[in-house]
Each structure stands twice: as C-alpha cells, then as structure tokens.
Amino acid sequence: MNIMNGEFLASTGLSELDREVIELFIRMADVLNLPRSVGEIYGLLFIASDPLCLDDCRIRLKISKGSTSQGLKILRSFGAIRTVYMAGDRKDYYLAETSLRKIASGFTNEQIRPHVDSGKERIERIRELLDEQDDDARATLEEKIDLLENWQKRASKTLPLMLKLIGG
Amino acid sequence: MNIMNGEFLASTGLSELDREVIELFIRMADVLNLPRSVGEIYGLLFIASDPLCLDDCRIRLKISKGSTSQGLKILRSFGAIRTVYMAGDRKDYYLAETSLRKIASGFTNEQIRPHVDSGKERIERIRELLDEQDDDARATLEEKIDLLENWQKRASKTLPLMLKLIGG
DNA sequence: CGGTATGTTCAGTAATTAATGAACATTATG
DNA sequence: CATAATGTTCATTAATTACTGAACATACCG
C-alpha cells in the first residue's frame, strides 16, 4: 500500500473552494430534506477531479463509515452518483452525475412520487368515508374532497412536466 | 359566554373523515419540510365548515397555544390561510385558502426562493475563489462552476414556470 | 384607569432525526 | 481454508427540531 494513500491524506484538507462547493450542496440537501452528510458527499464527488471510494469520502469529510455508506446508498438510490469500476481494485469508486435532468428525475421518482401516490390512496379512503355522512354534511364536504382530488391530479401531472421544463 | 363554546367542546372530537383529511395534510407538511402542527392546523381549517380562531384550533387539535400561534403565523406567511374578521368579536378567525396556485406561489416565494437566491450568491463567491487557483486546476474547476451556475439559472427559471403549470 | 381577552415570544423540554462505530456479512486472495 | 479488504447494518449516542406553557405585550371594555 502506498504510504501517500489512506488516513495520512486526511490532514490534506479541502481547499476553500472545495469547502464552499460542499457547503452549497449541504444547503441544497437541506432544502430537499436530505441528511447533511448526503449533501457533503455529493458536493465532494462533484468537485473532485477523479472518482472517489467510500474511504476517500469518509476521510476527507471526516465522517463515519456508517454515514458514508448510508449517504452513498441514498445518492445511488436516485441516480445522483454513478459507480465506476477501476481495474484491479475491489473498491467501488463513485462519480457525481452531472445531468440535472437525470438527478431531478431520479429524485422525484424515488423521493416525491411515493408520497403523491400514497396521497392518492388516502383520498380514495376519504371518499369512502364521505358515503357514511349525513346528507346535509355531505354536500359541502364533497366539494372539499373534490378539490383535494383536483389538487392531487394537478400535482401528479405537474411532476413530469416540471422535469421537461428543467431541460435535459 | 356560551357554555357550548370553549374547552367543553374539546371532547367533541374530530370525525374519522376529519382525522383522515388532517393526516393527509400532515404528510404534505412533512414532504414540504414544515412542522407537523402546521399540517394539522391547515387540515383542520380546510375541512372546517366555518372560520376558526386560535383557540378552536388549539382545543380541537389538542396542541399548545404556542404551537398554534406559530403554526398560524407560518401559514399566514405564505398565504395558505386568510384572516376573517367577525363583527363583534376581538378574535381573529381563519379560513383555509383553497387556490392551489396562490398557496404554491406563496410557498415558493417565501420558503424556496430565498434558498435559491442565497445559492446564487454563494456561486458568485465560489467564482471569485476560482481566480485564485493555479492555471492547471483552473480549467476543470471552471467547467464545474459553469455547470453549477447553469443549474442555478435553470432552477430559477423553472420555479415561475412550475407555478404556471400548476394552473390557477 | 383596572381587569379581561387575545395573541406572541421564548427558555426549557420532549420528540425526532442523523451520526457513530463496532459487529457482522461478503468477497477476494494467497 | 485463513486472512485481509471492503462494505452494510443497527443499537446507541449526539444533534437538531418541534412543542410546551408561562411570562409578557397589546388592545379592548366597563
């Protein structure tokens, strides 16, 4: 093993530019309701000039193995990073996906769509409850449920259109 | 004071339908990264047949005065609820805004746009740091920063278009 | 005015969420 | 097969976030 690899390089800190870019992705992760560490890892991979393995991330970001593994898993889950196989190396190396279209699409499909879908199911259950209501309560409630369903449909349709808008 | 108002009605629980609707908005709040109580309050106002005051919300949802006040404040901040003045009553009454367009617009302007804008500022700072780089590091880094800026601009433009899409 | 109704704020606490690190797979390799 | 390298899982701990409730502000009303 090369003495220049591994923990030794941990002290070889990130440049100010690196840190600023990572900070930017930490904020993005926050907006998207993802753990901070996910933002850190993506930011590091984004700014890195070469693919990095789990330990590279862990050491440079000074985070635990568990967080790193979990973070990479989440990023893989919606296609924000890609795995690169290096000849003669058992480790997995990762590269930041740079197509905004792909990332946005993966994110909406994996992290948003399930919520929208479960909302749809819930509205169906609510509509069943509506049938058990008194006739006088019914009319106004029905309007509200219709409105809910209308929102749900518009949200469903807007997701894919949004992805078109973001371009690719 | 009417004996039928106030705390007494706390026991007059919510119907199953009410609870399901509120649960739906709790989930939405979660997706939007808003406190659960905000979802509860909006859900209650949405399903209520009449405007409700702070105490109505507090009692029916069994949450504290502080949470209720804070929750209403947040909902007002992005126009998800409207204040209704009732003649001869000092209390403020609230009604759920039902225009998805208005709510989505208020939400993006108040809760999303500031993040996008601060991202823009950060990218500007990053670009300044780029000038301090060695010539050889510069070229590849510059590409990445260009990409970041490109994303930022597309996100900025997509926000208003999205609102158009969601319809009004 | 003084008292009351209403709403806000915020320090303290509770609940939730993320991070840690050691134990546990898994796979390659001599 | 034994060993080492790599990665995952998950119980515990740490950090964050939301909630509570009492103190405070404000405005009304007799």
Distance from CA of B157 to the nearest CA of A (A): 8
A37 touches strand C (CB under 7 A): yes
Q: How far is CA A32 from CA A100, A103, B33, in A?
A: 14, 12, 8
Q: How far is the C-alpha of B102 from the C-alpha of B121, rounded, in Å?
A: 27
Q: Which of B125, B130, B154 sits opposite A167 (nearest CB)?
A: B154
Nearest CA in chain A to B150: A100
Please report, to the nearest 10 degrees, the dihedral formed by the alpha carbons of residues A30, A35, A38, A44 taken in order: 60
Which pLDDT belongs to residue B167?
A: 85
Statement: the pTM of the whole predicted model exceeds 0.95: no
Q: How far is the C-alpha of B111 from the C-alpha of B92, rounded, in Å?
A: 24
Tell me what the pLDDT averaged over chain A comes to.
92
| Cβ distance of B17 and A133 shorter than 8 Å | yes
Distance from CA of A106 to the nearest CA of B (A): 16
Per-residue tokens: B73: 């404040």
Whether residue A162 lies within 8 A of chain B, CB to CB, comes out as: yes
Locus of tokens 């502080």: B66
Which pLDDT belongs to residue A4?
A: 40
Q: Which range, of A35-39, A159-163, B145-149, averages the lowest pLDDT? A: A159-163
Q: State the Cα angle at A92 between A89 and A93, rounded to 5°.
A: 100
Closest C-alpha among B55, B56, B107 to residue B80: B107
| B-chain residues near A150 (CB < 8 A) | 100
A14's enclosing H/E stretch is none
- Using only C-alpha atoms, chain B has a radius of gyration, in whole angstroms, of 22
Instruction: Answer yes or no: is pLDDT of B11 > 90.
Output: no
Instruction: Answer yes or no: is pLDDT of A2 > 50.
Output: no
Closest C-alpha among A67, A65, A99 to residue A82: A99
| Cβ distance of A166 and B148 shorter than 8 Å | no
B40 with B58: CB under 8 angstroms? no
| Cβ distance of A27 and B118 shorter than 8 Å | yes
Q: Could you read off the pLDDT of A31-83 as tens digits, one per residue?
A: 999 999 999 999 999 999 999 999 999 999 999 999 999 999 999 999 999 99
Q: Hey, how many other C-beta atoms are within 10 angstroms of the C-beta on A84?
A: 13
A70 touches strand C (CB under 7 A): yes
Per-residue tokens: A117: 């879908």
Which B residues, 43 through 62, put their C-beta within 8 Å of a C-beta on chain A? 46-47, 49
A147 with B46: CB under 8 angstroms? no
Which pLDDT belongs to residue A12?
A: 57
* Pair type for strands B52-53 and B92-96: antiparallel
B94 with B84: CB under 8 angstroms? yes
